[in-house]
Amino acid sequence: MSSLSQLKTLEITWCGDLREVFPLDYMAKYYAEKLPQPVTLVLPSLKRIHLHELPSLQRICGGRMSTPNLETLKIRGCWSLRRLPDVRGSDKVVECDCEKEWWDKLEWDDGSQASRYKPIHSRYYKKALLRSSVLR
C-alpha cells in the first residue's frame, strides 16, 4: 500500500510558485496518453484539504483525483485552480470554505459533481455594493 493511501490531511500554504501538488511523472504521462480513461489518483483516507495563498496552483493532481472520504475543503487565494477532486463514492456533501468569486469560476466534469460540494463563503466575505446614495 502506498504511503499516499494513508494521507488524512493535505495542507499547503504560501507557496507562490507551486503549480501542481501531485504531478504525473514522465512514465505516467506516457501511459496516460495511451489509455482511454484518464489516470486517477485515489486517496481513500484523505479527509481534509487546506490550500492557502497558492496563486499559481493550476491543479491538485496531474490526472484525476478521487477522494471518496473527503469531509472539508478550505481554499483561499488559489485563483488559478479550476477543478476540485472527485468525491463520488460517498453520500456526504463536502463543505468547501472558499471565496465566492473563485467558486463561481470552477469547471465541472458534470453537474452532479458540483452538487456533492456545499460552498461556504466566509461571513467576512463582502459583496460588491451598488454605488448609490440613499436620501432620506
- pLDDT tens figures, 78-89: 999 999 988 887
Q: Is 134 inside any structural domain?
A: no
Q: Which residues contact 14 (CB under 8 A, 6 or more apart)?
A: 52, 53, 54
pLDDT band at 120 (very low <50, low <70, confident <90, very high): very high
Residue-wise pLDDT for 109-119, tens only, equals: 777 888 899 99
Q: Is 27 inside any structural domain?
A: yes
Cα separation, 39 vs 10, whole angstroms: 20
pLDDT band at 1 (very low <50, low <70, confident <90, very high): very low
pLDDT value at residue 39? 72
Number of compact structural domains in the chain? 1
Q: Which residues contact 132 (CB under 8 A, 6 or more apart)?
A: none
Q: Is 131 inside any structural domain?
A: no
Q: Which residues form the domain of 22?
A: 3-120
Residue-wise pLDDT for 20-79, tens only, equals: 998 877 556 655 566 666 678 889 999 999 999 999 999 998 778 889 999 999 999 999
pTM of the model: 0.79
